[in-house]
Amino acid sequence: MSPATREDANLLVQLAQWGAMINVGEALGGVFSEEFSPEAADANDVHVRTILVFGETIGTLVKNDLLDRGLVLDWLWAAGLWERVGPAARQARERYGAEALYENFEALAQAQAA
């Protein structure tokens, strides 16, 4: 694997800016609150959905070698986020019969956990 580039860094900063625009900070507060239950979470909850969309977008860029995996995993706690919202993603897959739903986010989280 080649080292991260300035292009990777620029894209990462753009993702952080996009995250601010879609209120990822607020969503993080929601999914890491004491009241949040991963087992009871639903993918249609605004905080869960925001984290799932953000994580899937980043995971897709990494999967397609458009963003350096090492740089992303240094920046983002993908495994911890997936632990909080993964149950909702799996329920959505079952509900819609779509095994590919959020698969890139899950793969990124698994790469970090390994």
Predicted confidence (pLDDT) per residue in 9-49, tens digit:
999 999 999 999 999 999 999 999 999 999 999 999 999 99
Has residue 9 been placed in a domain?
no
Has residue 82 been placed in a domain?
yes
* Of the candidates 49, 42, 41, 60, the residue with the CA atom closest to the CA atom of residue 23: 49
Has residue 98 been placed in a domain?
yes
Question: Domain total for the chain?
Answer: 1
Domain extent, residue 40, equals: 27-113
- The whole-angstrom separation of Cα 20 and Cα 35 is 23
The answer to whether the beta carbons of residues 78 and 112 sit under 8 Å apart is yes
* Of the candidates 83, 23, 77, the residue with the CA atom closest to the CA atom of residue 49: 23
Region of 97 (left: φ > 0; alpha: ψ -120 to 50; beta: rest) is left
Has residue 100 been placed in a domain?
yes
Has residue 37 been placed in a domain?
yes
Has residue 5 been placed in a domain?
no
The whole-number pLDDT of residue 61 equals 98
Average the pLDDT over 85-89 and give the result: 98
pTM: 0.95
Has residue 51 been placed in a domain?
yes
What token pair was written down for 63? 């999967």
Has residue 12 been placed in a domain?
no
Which string of DSSP letters, residue by residue, matches 57-114? HHHHHHHTTSS-HHHHHHH--HHHHHHHHHHHHHHHHHHHT-TTTTHHHHHHHHHHH-
